Amino acid sequence: MSKIAFIFPGQGAQVPGMGKDFYEQTEIGKAVFDRASELLGFSMAELCFEKNDRLDITEYTQAAMVTTSIAMMKVLEERGVRPDVAAGLSLGEYCGLVAAGVMRQEDAITTVRQRGILMQEAVPVGEGAMAAILGLDGVVIEKVIREMDGVWIANYNCPGQIVISGKKAAVEEACERLKDAGARRTLLLNVSGPFHSGLLTDAGEKLGRILARVVISIPAIPYVANVNARFVTTAEPVRELLTKQVSSSVRWQQSVETMIAHGVDTFIEIGPGKTLTGFMKKINKEVRTMNVEKMEDIDTVVEELRQEQRKGI
């Protein structure tokens, strides 16, 4: 029998208009956006649906992305599709927590709003940087930056794509060293801060104090934590893992490999874009990945899974 994982993209996948059809065509989707507006004191619909300058500002992006992905997930669940496990890349982990029943959607939305503010304020604009390193093995990257100060691995996305983060000068120097070490290409990213680096340790600790006030429940289904790529099945480690996540490497490739090793063969990416689907093709081509970013995608996913059930797969 097929085992399903709901997976959620992180910051950077946002796009004006995301989730608008879910808002306009479903009651449950509209309710998620409206509740977010009530909680945060500004129009989430306006932020997500209309072209504006705020959507790409971290303190707004994070709440917008989580609200949108949760709305899409709720519609999918309403149609009878439920996950066996959940995971999300960086910010997307909070959607995974909601999918797993660990955190209420209201708490996830308000927490990531604070998370976004803390991350935005952690390092003055221009002092930090992130860069994608393409075509180089992670072990080589680890060895090169281990000898340097002020630079860390931020994301293990998939084979051949790793992201580094830290002080701007250190990241730029690391890019040059990694080219010399055999990287096919290095690409500085257009981001507002050096996320998932040691420079955000203080921001993570501040977030930890916010998380101390959030109700954390025993997972109804397992979810995979970014920090260690392991399943979480109890409530106890959740706050510490989320506190560390802000300044630690996102082990996405390893997280996917963990899920596959435990029998997951169907991954449903829920949220704008197809970032995780792209990673999946490089991590493991044998598993199936579906996407939900438009209302018509719901019908496609539901029908495909029904056909599978009829075949007795």
Hey, which residues are catalytic here?
90, 196
Report the length, in residues, of the chain.
Answer: 313
Helices (H), the chain: 20-25, 27-40, 44-49, 58-78, 93-99, 105-122, 138-146, 168-180, 201-211, 238-245, 252-261, 275-283, 295-311
CB atoms within 10 A of CB 224: 28
DSSP per position, 216-261: ----SS-EE-TTT--EE-SSTTHHHHHHHHTTS-B-HHHHHHHHHH
Instruction: Give the pairing type, strands 288-292 and 266-270.
Output: parallel
Calpha distance 160→163 (Å, rounded): 10
Q: Which residues contact 30 (CB under 8 A, 6 or more apart)?
A: 22, 23, 24
CB atoms within 10 A of CB 251: 21
Calpha distance 171→191 (Å, rounded): 13
